[in-house]
C-alpha cells in the first residue's frame, strides 16, 4: 500500500471536536504519514487550525500538518503563524493561495501561493517541507491550461517540495498533468487528492465551486440509485477504490484523502484497496 494522508477541517464547537476525535482515532489505525488541517478563508479559523494541529499530535499521536493561505493575512501574521507552527514541532506546511470569501475586499499582503512559498523559504530556509496545490483539470480561475502550468511552475521554483492535487474522478487528467509538468522539468512528487463520496448533492456543489468534473456516467448512476442509501454507499466506495487502484498501478507516489471529518467513506475505500 502506498503512503496515505488525511485532511480535516478545524472544528469550532465541542460537538465538532468530538466528531474529529472519533474520526482521527479510526483513521490513524491506517498509519497515515500525516493528517493535514485546513485554514479558514479570511483567517476565520486563525486559532482553530494550530489548536487542531496540536490536538492531533497530543491526543492522537499523529503528525499534524497545517494549511496556510495568503487570504486575509498580513506578512506579519503569516510570520507569527510560522513561528508558532515551528514551536509546535511542525516541519511540514501546505501553502495555498486560498479563496477570497464572499464580500471580502482584500486578499492580504500576499496575492499568490508562490509568494507565500517564497516567504516561508526566506524566513525558515529548508526547515519546512512545503506542499502546494495542483489542478489536473485546470484551476477554475486560470485563463488557459498553459498559463495554469506556468503558474504551477512558479510555486515549484519558489521552493515547493511536493504537490497535492484537487480531487478528480478521471485518472487520465492526473496522468496527463504529471506528464505535462515533467516536460517542464518539474520532478517533485504530485500526490493525487481523493474525495470519497458520502453526499452526492454536496459533492456536486463542491465540484461546481472548485472546477472538478464529475463524469456524466457517475451522475447518471447516482440518479438511478435514488434513495437506495446502501446502494449509493457501495457504488461510491467501489468507484473511488477503483480510481485509487488505477492511480497506484500508474505510479502515483501517495494518496491524500479529503475526509470532510468523516471516517466511514474513507475506511470503505481503504478496506477495498487492502
Task: List the catalytic residue out of 7, 115, 131, 137.
Answer: 7
Alpha-carbon distance 94 to 36, whole Å? 8
Alpha-carbon distance 93 to 34, whole Å? 11
Return the C-alpha cell found at 259. Answer: 475526509
Return the C-alpha cell found at 24. Answer: 482521527
Alpha-carbon distance 8 to 24, whole Å? 9
CB-based burial label for 247 (10 Å; 0-12, 13-18, 19+)? buried
7 is catalytic: yes
CB-based burial label for 40 (10 Å; 0-12, 13-18, 19+)? buried
Return the C-alpha cell found at 139. Answer: 484551476
Contact (CB, 8 A) for 36 and 67? yes
Q: Which residues pair with 66 in a beta bridge?
A: 37
Alpha-carbon distance 26 to 261, whole Å? 11
Catalytic site residues? 7
Amino acid at each position: 500500500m502506498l503512503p496515505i494522508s488525511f485532511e480535516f477541517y478545524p472544528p469550532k464547537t465541542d460537538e465538532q471536536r468530538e466528531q474529529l476525535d472519533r474520526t482521527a482515532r479510526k483513521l490513524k489505525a491506517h498509519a497515515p504519514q500525516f493528517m493535514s488541517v485546513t485554514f479558514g478563508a479570511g483567517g476565520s479559523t486563525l486559532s482553530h487550525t494550530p489548536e487542531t494541529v496540536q490536538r492531533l499530535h497530543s491526543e492522537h499521536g499523529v503528525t499534524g500538518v497545517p494549511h496556510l493561505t495568503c487570504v486575509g493575512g498580513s506578512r506579519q501574521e503569516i510570520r507569527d503563524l510560522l513561528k508558532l507552527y515551528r514551536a509546535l514541532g511542525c516541519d511540514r506546511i501546505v501553502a495555498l493561495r486560498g479563496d477570497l470569501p464572499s464580500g471580502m475586499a482584500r486578499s492580504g499582503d500576499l496575492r499568490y501561493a508562490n509568494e507565500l512559498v517564497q516567504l516561508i523559504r526566506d524566513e525558515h530556509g529548508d526547515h519546512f517541507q512545503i506542499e502546494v496545490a495542483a489542478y489536473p483539470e485546470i484551476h477554475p480561475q486560470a485563463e488557459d491550461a498553459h498559463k495554469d502550468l506556468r503558474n504551477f511552475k512558479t510555486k515549484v521554483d519558489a521552493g515547493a517540495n511536493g504537490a497535492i492535487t484537487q480531487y478528480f474522478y478521471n485518472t487520465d487528467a492526473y496522468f496527463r498533468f504529471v506528464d505535462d509538468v515533467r516536460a517542464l522539468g518539474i520532478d517533485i512528487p504530485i500526490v493525487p487528492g481523493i474525495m470519497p463520496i458520502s453526499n452526492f448533492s454536496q459533492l456536486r456543489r463542491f465540484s461546481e465551486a472548485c472546477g472538478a468534473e464529475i463524469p456524466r456516467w457517475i451522475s447518471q448512476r447516482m440518479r438511478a440509485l435514488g434513495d437506495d442509501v446502501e446502494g449509493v454507499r457501495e457504488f461510491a466506495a467501489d468507484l473511488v477504490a477503483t480510481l485509487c487502484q488505477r492511480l497506484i498501478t500508474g505510479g502515483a507516489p501517495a494518496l491524500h484523502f479529503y475526509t470532510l471529518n468523516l471516517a466511514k467513506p474513507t475506511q470503505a475505500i481503504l478496506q477495498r484497496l487492502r
